[in-house]
Structure 1
Amino acid sequence: MLRRHQEDFCQALGRPPGAKYEHSQTGRRGPDLRTMIGLVRDRLAPGQVPRFLDAVIFNIAIGNVDSHAKNYSVLYPLDGGPPALAPLYDLMSGLAWPGITENHAQDVGGQNRGRHIHGRHWARLAAESGINATQLRRRVDEICELIPTEVDAAINEVAAMPGGSHGMLTEFSREIRERTLTVRDHNAA
């Protein structure tokens, strides 16, 4: 059996596991999005920065407040070619659970509360990272348009799993749809 090497962004950036959040209680500041984008730009195969930004936008839009640096990974190919982003994993939405923080693991342009991220924050992230702000904000809109069309299929897929038919599915669907609209509307502001 052949195994592919994978390292999370903390490993790739030489950070300890306790430094997975940009702001943490451990006293070890984790990487910010600018640093993570730099890693993707400098060390991964061409074309990976837009994929990474799509993942960040998706996590903001679904309220995945735990999308920290250990939940993004680099996957090394067996043929020795350039590494690429690993598929997203450990995805969760904290929107329907009371008492879960609304602070995301990394700031977007100086703001880490998903419902308070506006177009100016996406533009600031773009400026800090050498990305076209107009294209980034357009992509925020595109992803926020796609998510509601896919939520029902995702809910049905989870419900079909053993033990997957949980009463919270409807609540998560509603919360994700609401947050996606908020992220899109605030992006226009």
Structure 2
Amino acid sequence: LVENELAVLEWARGAGFDVPECSLEDVSALTPALRGHAGPPEGRVLVIRRYDREGSRRIHQEDFAQVAGLSPRLKYDQLTYEKLARLVQGIAGPAAYVEFVRRLAFVVASGNADAHLKNWSLVYPDGIEARLSPLYDQVCTIAWPEMAPELSLKLAGLKSLKQVDERSFRRLAESAGNDPGQTLAVLHECLERIARAWRESVAQDIMPPAHAALLREYWAGVPLLRRHFR
């Protein structure tokens, strides 16, 4: 799992997304306080630099389960991605909506079936203005065939990752009161950037080969992605 997540995070970084500094470390190299929470001593863990601290100052963060006033247990299915897009735009503005579209494109391209409400967050660097937090908890879940290849939230009334297409993003744009043509332009520009980043970043070297093979098989089966991931 940790190699998969690191690969996806570095892939996202290569595609231009805001990703905190991260690395794989041996459990044995951690401080004693951390070692007790990190599993077998011979294992490895993913270490991520906290982005909600600036020196001794705490930067406020709230995930979208909190924003929506929902229990963490209700992080799946209680909202749709259309509703999430409207929340992002209403709180953080039009530029945040565009970034949301890009991040949702990455969720689909990376085969991530775990982009639930607690894996989308806002941060308030100045204590007033909200913006989307850096990316975190990004995993290519289709690498585990026992996990259904389904979105965590519905998009255009559907959950299957393989059924996401231009119509899905058109519905997203219309729901948020935005120009569908502009949203589709953002989608395809971003997918092209994501595909190029996969070819050029270190992600391929980090991703377990069996996981990468399943990812390529997934791309071939999704018309929206096939045109970009050739």
Q: Normalised by the shorter chain, which TM-score bucket?
A: 0.7 to 0.9
Evaluate the alpha carbon distance shift between residue 31 and residue 184 of structure 1 in structure 2; reply closer, same or farther with a 3 A threshold.
same
Larger radius of gyration: 2
Q: Which runs of 5+ in 2 are unaligned?
A: 1-55
Instruction: Give the conservation status (yes or no) of the 8 Å contact 1:9–1:69.
Output: yes
**Helix, strand or coil for the counterpart of 2:97?**
helix
Q: Shift in Å at residue 172 of structure 1?
A: 3.0
Q: Which has the higher contact order (CA 8 A, sep 6+)?
A: 2
Partner amino acid, structure 1, of 2:153: Q
Is it true that 1:41 corresponds to 2:89 in the alignment? yes
| Equivalent residue runs for 1:40-79 within 5 Å | 40-77=88-125, 79=126
* Count of residues in correspondence between the two structures: 170
Which residue of the partner structure matches residue 51 of structure 2?
none
TM-score normalized with structure 1 length: 0.79
1:140 to 183, 187, 192: 187
Identify unmatched segments of 5+ residues in structure 1. Answer: 23-29, 160-167
- Consecutive aligned runs of 4 or more in structure 1 exceeding 4 Å deviation: none
Larger strand fraction of residues: 2
Residues 61 and 121 in structure 2, CA contact (< 8 A), matched pair in contact too: yes
What is the match of residue 4 of structure 1? 59
Instruction: State the Cα RMSD in Å.
Output: 2.3
**Are the aligned partners of 1:19 and 1:31 in contact in 2 as well (CA < 8 Å)?**
no
Q: Distance in 1 between matches of 2:123 and 2:136?
A: 13
Partner of 2:74: 19
Aligned to 1:27: none
- 2:219 pairs with 1:171: no
Measured against aligned partners, the alpha-carbon deviations of 1:66-111 in whole angstroms (never above 9, x if no partner) come to 000100001012x333110001100001122121111111122112
**Residues 1:130 and 2:130 aligned together:** no
1:129-169, Cα deviation, whole Å (9 max, x unpaired): 21221222222222222222222524257x3xxxxxxxx62
What is the deviation of 1:112? Answer: 1.3
Contact 1:33/1:108 (CA < 8 Å) preserved in 2? yes
